[in-house]
């Protein structure tokens, strides 16, 4: 059973059916929710390219990597977070040319960096410093 809350309210906020909530679109009767991300392109044969306009930072958010495999034998892609290396793609005979979209939704402990081989390009999507 839930007990009613009682007490004195200081500086109450007035709200009624005509008051807009954050993100509310009353004309279309919906709450607008959207994720806004930036992106960073990484060319072939890059070593530890920072994702972001400057140096990147702890707390940067990586939503997704979009990888284009151009040459399968050299399509290596590695994601770096400080000294931690995460191999995303390794070139070889079992890999197919094309576009791969991989979702991460991870927060960096330092700055996100990407290393690419001669056979792959990357678009990093997220919130980067």
55 falls within a domain: yes
- The residue range of the domain holding 108 is 36-127
What digits encode the pLDDT tens for the residues 4-45?
A: 555 565 666 665 666 666 667 666 666 766 678 999 999 999
Task: Indicate which CATH number applies to the domain containing 70.
Answer: 2.60.120.340
C-alpha separations of 12 from 9, 15, 70 in Å? 6, 10, 60
d(C-alpha 129, C-alpha 122), whole Å? 18
Q: Are 92 and 73 in contact (CB under 8 A)?
A: yes
Q: Which pTM value belongs to this model?
A: 0.74
Question: What integer pLDDT is reported at residue 55 of this predicted model?
Answer: 87
Q: How confident is the model at residue 57 (pLDDT cuts 50, 70, 90)?
A: very high
Question: How many domains is the chain partitioned into structurally?
Answer: 1
Position 49 pLDDT exceeds 60 = yes
Q: What is the pLDDT of residue 64?
A: 97
The tokens describing 125, both together, are 């999507």
pLDDT in tens, 76-126: 999 999 999 999 999 998 999 999 999 999 999 999 999 999 999 999 999
């Amino acid at each position: 059973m839930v007990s009613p809350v009682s007490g004195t309210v200081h500086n109450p906020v007035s709200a009624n059916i005509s008051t807009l909530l954050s993100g509310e679109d009353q004309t279309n009767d919906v709450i607008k929710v959207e994720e806004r991300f930036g992106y960073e392109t990484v060319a072939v044969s890059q070593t530890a390219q920072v994702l972001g306009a400057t140096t990147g930072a702890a707390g940067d958010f990586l939503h997704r990597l979009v990888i284009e495999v151009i040459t399968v034998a050299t399509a290596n892609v590695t994601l770096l977070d400080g000294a931690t290396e995460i191999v995303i793609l390794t070139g070889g005979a079992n890999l197919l040319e094309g576009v791969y979209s991989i979702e991460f939704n991870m927060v960096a402990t330092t700055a996100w960096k990407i290393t690419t081989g001669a056979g792959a390009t990357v678009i990093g999507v997220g919130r980067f410093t």
